[in-house]
Structure 1
Amino acid sequence: MEKTMKIINHIRGTSSTQHRLFRKFVLESEASHDDLLLHNDVRWLSKGKALERFVELSAQVVEFFKQSKAKAAADHLRTMQDSEYMSNVAFLTDIFSHLNALNLQLQGKEKSVVDLVEKLDAFGNKLDLFNADLLSGRLLHFSTLKKVGQSHVTDRMKKFITQLKDNFSSRFDDFLIPRDVIGFVRDPFSINPSGEFSTNSVKMMPLDEAAIQSELAEIQAAGDLKAALRGAENLGVFWLSCPEEYGTLKTLAMYVLTMFGSTYTCEAAFSKMNNIKTHERNRLSHQSLEDSLRISLTAAKPDVKKLVSEGKCNFSH
């Protein structure tokens, strides 16, 4: 990755003249893009986009270095003519593509911790698929590596996949929500009432285990609730609509669903605050800012007609 960033920075950052010449050369070659992308260390997933663009313009970069008289260009040309290096770049491009896809799945409104755990578990399973794909040499999940031509798989790639899975496992070790509890929140009708679910539940919350088992047996016989789950807008709506006779199960489900599944609310708040605190409003008080944020972040929609009809109009005399 470091070598690739040096090549990109050499073209884009050495001088404005060289950058302009490269862009002109790329445009004349009728490539799919007209420039390389810089990588931002703060947003580490931008590496994926930078690598993808680099691979797509690799032929143009090689030709540009061949025409360049700079010593650094000759060194970079030797690097790019190394088949193992280009295979590693293509491999990393595919890996970051998968990571970017996971990142997008974890973003957005109304993402619960149930969604988060399911997506992370799915990605862990995908890493096993990727490893098997590398071993077989079919490269079904590594399209860029397959297109580059130097599609030989190295031990370094296999080790990278293994280390990535270990990293995910250690990073989310403290994220110990029992998977049967996650499954219960998603679909209470598929959980065995006499299984380990009730035991795992009382470890999370001080609930009556007998009530959990009893209510679970009852709710699974309620055909109307099965239909309600299928037609519910989201899991929160379903559990809030459940009758109070399933109060213990509702308490457990809402405990899980009220955990923050993503940083969306926090990021949205900062974005709204930046829009509110403009140069024209630099004397905004803390209370006014808090009120403005509350209004801009709420999902509630005011009934303007009703508010106006209830208002008292002042008539001039």
Structure 2
Amino acid sequence: MAGSRNGLQALIKRVAPDAHWTHCVIHWEALTSRQLSPELNEVLTEVVSVVNLIKTRPLKARLFSALCEEMGADHTSVLFHNEARWLSRGKVLSRVFELRAEIRMFMEEERMYEAASKFSNEEFLFKLAYLSDMFGKLNELNLQLQGKDKHIPHLADKINAFSRKLEVWGRRLDQQNIDVFENLSEVAENTDSGATTVIPCIKQHISSLKELFQKHFPNNSAQYAWVMDPFNAAAPADFGSAEEDQFIDLTSDSTLRLRFKAQNLSEFWFGVEREYPLIGQRAVCILLPFATSYLCEMGFSAVASLKTKYRSQLNIEHDLRVAVSSLQPRFEKLCNAKQAHCSH
């Protein structure tokens, strides 16, 4: 459907030849984080099967909830795993790790000794702790990529920072240092053998994750430096003579320097475009493309909350506009404009 020859891209290019096609950065990040080695994937599969065993049977779900309450756990249920949701995997792993003792006891009571033995195995717990830590960090990155007014330069900086963190974590693991992984450190402190048995597996996963991030997100943040901070960055080498002259005029303007500190990036460059059109248009072309599908996903979520069995209105255009708008309705003014019916 989105083909570059006969699909959507080709149709758009015929009407707007200068249009740029971008892939959602959050989607790429979610796809990249799914890659797991067979050892770690086995742990994830076991976790999902245990969660499904508890959640798909109402009686077992109630018994597990009662057990958690008796043991004084912070939570009384596990979470369903959903591949389509960006944060699902990290939240499921984190909840299962927190309730690992309760799950083990519940499996023993249900006479599912094979599953219970998994949650008594040190190596399995080490891998579970690492996965909960790593996907928790990936969830943090995902949340940083979400939101309005997110441009490609902003997201390139976030991705580059995470890639550098992966490199640092790999070096720390070479020194047998696991302080960056909180849950893994907690499990290692409570066991005699430590986490040395799973460090090679963890190093391999971090290395493959770093390679995938470098493959899908090449470090191109340097080419956006002049857009992010024009007053402290050099002019790109591909600037023409007229563009370079305007860039010098721009960076020498003390009024614009003060405005750059007071305004956000979009407002600043839209204002610059009127005075320095060549530089401004080039910056706007970098900031204009949608870097993520966040706004689209937010619209789908709003539709899902509006179209329920209790609210079956066919035309939701006005309701949807209010739901996704950042403007706050003046309810008092709207109510005062209506006539009150005292009999009701």
Q: TM-score range by the shorter chain?
A: 0.7 to 0.9
| Correspondent of 1:2 among 36, 41, 45 | 45
Cα distance, 1:171–1:10 mapped onto 2, change above 3 Å: same
AA matched with 1:219: L
Say which structure, 1 or 2, has more relative contact order (CA 8 Å, 6+ apart): 2
Corresponding residue for 1:79? 118
Corresponding residue for 1:309? none
Could you tell me how far apart the structure 2 residues matched to 1:131 and 1:227 are?
Answer: 42
Corresponding residue for 1:38? 80
TM-score by length of 2: 0.73
Map 1:225-236 → 2, pairs under 5 A? 225-232=256-263, 234-236=264-266
8 Å Cα contact 1:130-1:141 kept in structure 2: yes
Corresponding residue for 2:341? none
Corresponding residue for 1:164? 209
1:156-181 residue CA offsets vs partner (Å, 9 max, x unmatched): 111111111122222235xx8x4333
Map 1:108-147 → 2, pairs under 5 A? 108-147=147-186
8 Å Cα contact 1:236-1:257 kept in structure 2: yes
AA matched with 2:151: S
Between 132-141 and 118-127, report the one with greater CA deviation.
132-141
Could you tell me how far apart the structure 1 residues matched to 2:92 and 2:272 are?
Answer: 49
AA matched with 1:114: P
8 Å Cα contact 2:227-2:283 kept in structure 1: yes
Map 1:1-317 → 2, pairs under 5 A? 1-13=44-56, 15-68=57-110, 70=111, 73-149=112-188, 150-152=194-196, 153-172=198-217, 178-193=220-235, 197-199=236-238, 209-232=240-263, 234-242=264-272, 244-274=274-304, 280-282=312-314, 284=315, 289=317
TM-aligned CA deviation for residue 55 of structure 1: 1.0
Cα distance, 1:111–1:2 mapped onto 2, change above 3 Å: same
AA matched with 1:228: R
Cα distance, 1:272–1:65 mapped onto 2, change above 3 Å: closer
Could you tell me how far apart the structure 2 residues matched to 1:302 and 1:21 are?
Answer: 46
Could you tell me how far apart the structure 1 residues matched to 2:113 and 2:329 are?
Answer: 65
SS at match of 1:281: coil
Residue segments in structure 2 that go unaligned for 5+ positions in a row = 1-43, 189-193, 332-344
Could you tell me how far apart the structure 2 residues matched to 1:45 and 1:39 are?
Answer: 10
Corresponding residue for 1:206? none
Cα distance, 1:81–1:276 mapped onto 2, change above 3 Å: closer
8 Å Cα contact 1:114-1:261 kept in structure 2: no
AA matched with 2:313: R
Could you tell me how far apart the structure 2 residues matched to 1:37 and 1:273 are?
Answer: 24
Between 144-153 and 25-34, report the one with greater CA deviation.
144-153
Return the structure number with greater helix share: 1
Could you tell me how far apart the structure 1 residues matched to 2:329 and 2:98 are?
Answer: 50
Q: Give the superposed CA RMSD.
A: 2.7
TM-score by length of 1: 0.79
Percent same amino acid at aligned positions? 29
Could you tell me how far apart the structure 2 residues matched to 1:301 and 1:9 are?
Answer: 41
Cα distance, 1:216–1:43 mapped onto 2, change above 3 Å: same
AA matched with 1:11: I
1:22-67 residue CA offsets vs partner (Å, 9 max, x unmatched): 2211111111211222211222531111111111111222223333
AA matched with 1:198: A
SS at match of 2:61: helix
Between 271-280 and 222-231, report the one with greater CA deviation.
271-280
8 Å Cα contact 2:82-2:88 kept in structure 1: yes
SS at match of 1:91: helix
Greater CA radius of gyration, 1 or 2? Answer: 1
1:167-199 residue CA offsets vs partner (Å, 9 max, x unmatched): 2222235xx8x4333111110112223xxx131
TM-aligned CA deviation for residue 148 of structure 1: 1.4
AA matched with 2:271: S
